[in-house]
Chain A
């Protein structure tokens, strides 16, 4: 006998019995794997560098690595631009006032959230691939509800970008070398990343209901929106420029190579 269709909304409420957890045949695991390795490597490098407590400043050309800016402990010597209120201690990073905010900024960033929820938390590892967890409450409760603090971290990140810009200007007073170029590229990319932030896009104009009444903010919003579409790329580019800048300055400070000077 032919079976008739089940009535929608009533009757059988069961899903199709498909045994395979996912039927995807492409290499869906590649993107989360690359993210996992990339972020993991970067975090390892940054942690090692932050707690190295040396090779962060090139006195001759006033190059200060972004990982130690602003330098605030007794160890800083001539690198201290804002005084040295902190004692030097193994567990206190030289930039102890800014690094936590930078960490918070990146941790609560909408792009990084996507990246680590997928690659580290497997929730989900890829689209149409099952979540690695039994239960799920998303960002509705503690601790993940604090992802909503991204806005505060954004404000902090703007201030920190200003400090990084100051570092680049400060180093510029000694002439021009490859180090200056690297510092400027890094600062420029940091600004691009910060400006492309979703919170920035919202504050600058996204929150308005009537663009036509605020033409200037509308223009700014359009600009930020264009940057915002590249937020993921900028997130990775800035990881690259940060590590590269730091590595270059470490190399100079450690005497592994010398700065390529153009002027001075």
Chain B
């Protein structure tokens, strides 16, 4: 059966919705139809995908205006005569057709402080209880599809907030580490408030609504982080409790000496992939200097990385960090 599709085609210099009538078979998903378009009417239609199982987070697009994974949106959820409009995710600069440049997210990832190893525990010696690490594990389900980042109106509708706002994906990262039983940093709440722009979020829950992994981003990460900030900055009773019961000393009585926090992020700056003399990337990997997908971090890395590229701080040798 043929269905009517409208697909956005173009690049940074402009574009529009193009009409297609495509064959749709039972059990197919939107990504299948995009592939059929590539195979038949539009061989140069650009689209990112990888697993077709909702696990790689590549195929984020907007289907009938809703941010979704193309591979997880069944055609059977639409009525027979419905026109299906497919557009690239809006919040990030478009590269071509359905492919956008999501490097904003990689920059924010790099700015988010990494796990801080507990002092006196060698790697490999980490032990924790399931109940303690459970909350953090929910956030590990994230597949980095960036649908939440795309939907969040703070940057979707207000591009100027991008420098100040890390977005829900990195709020769950901050919460994951702040709730982690072994993470040694104690300033993640302050960091979330001051540098990640937690205060910009007005908990309208769109990130939760679109997350394909059903992570309760707002309820389990953002609101708890906001509450943790309140603990530190606004709650008089917690403050009194601290004074009276010496809670601070209690928490560190089990050997964890409060450490000087290492710097927030590595010194490594974002790098782009190699480009040709025209300032553009190669159109196909056949002619690129390296085969396979180009790394958004640059292709000229050699291992081991120079220390200033790494934001890991050795628990016993902090000076070498």
Contact = CB atoms under 8 A, between A and B. Distances in A.
B276 interface: yes
Contacts of B12: 6, 11-14
A27 to B, nearest CB: 12
Nearest to B278: A4
A23 B68 CA distance: 13
Interface stretch (B49-57, B94-102, B304-312): B94-102
A135 interface: yes
B90 A16 contact: yes
Given A15-B92, A17-B15, A23-B85, A7 B231 contact: no
Contact of A9 (B44, B101, B199, B279): B101
A137 interface: yes
Interface string B23-63: 00000000000000000000010100000000000000010
Contacts of A210: 129, 132, 181
B136 to A, nearest CB: 10
Chain A interface, >50% SS class: loop
Interface stretch (B166-174, B257-265, B267-275, B313-321): B267-275
Interface string B269-296: 0111101101111110000000000001
Contact of A155 (B17, B65, B101, B237): B237
Contacts of A6: 11-12, 93, 95-96, 101, 280-281
B131 interface: yes
A6 B229 CA distance: 40
A204 to B, nearest CB: 11
A97 B8 CA distance: 58
A143 interface: no
Nearest to B97: A16
What 4 pairs across the A-B complex have the smallest Cβ distances?
A12-B12, A23-B65, A24-B65, A138-B200
Interface string A8-46: 111111111110101111100000000000000000000
B161 to A, nearest CB: 7
24 contacts: A4-B280, A5-B280, A6-B96, A9-B271, A12-B12, A16-B10, A16-B87, A16-B100, A23-B65, A110-B203, A113-B202, A127-B206, A128-B65, A130-B156, A137-B200, A138-B199, A138-B200, A139-B200, A141-B199, A145-B199, A202-B224, A202-B227, A206-B224, A210-B181
Contact of B275 (A7, A24, A130): A7
Interface string B223-242: 11011111101111100000
B87 A18 contact: yes
The winner among A24, A145, A199, A202 for most chain B CB atoms within 10 A is A202
B80 interface: no
Contact of A114 (B11, B204, B271): B204
Interface size range of chain A in the complex: 35 or more
Given A8-B103, A113-B203, A138 B154 contact: yes
A114 B129 CA distance: 35
Contact of A229 (B92, B219, B223): B219
Interface residues of B, number: 86
Nearest to A13: B93
Interface string A118-148: 1000011001101100011111110011001
Given A127-B151, A207-B227, A210-B132, A5 B65 contact: no
B62 A128 contact: yes
B199 A18 contact: no
A236 interface: no
A241 to B, nearest CB: 24
B158 interface: yes
B302 interface: no
Contacts of A128: 62, 65-67, 90, 151, 156, 206
Contact of A117 (B66, B85, B202): B202
B16 interface: yes
A136 B152 CA distance: 12
Contact of B153 (A3, A124, A149, A206): A124
B64 A24 contact: yes
A255 B17 CA distance: 65
Given A8-B296, A131-B153, A138-B201, A17 B16 contact: yes
A211 interface: yes
B227 A198 contact: yes
A95 to B, nearest CB: 24
B157 A124 contact: yes
A53 interface: no
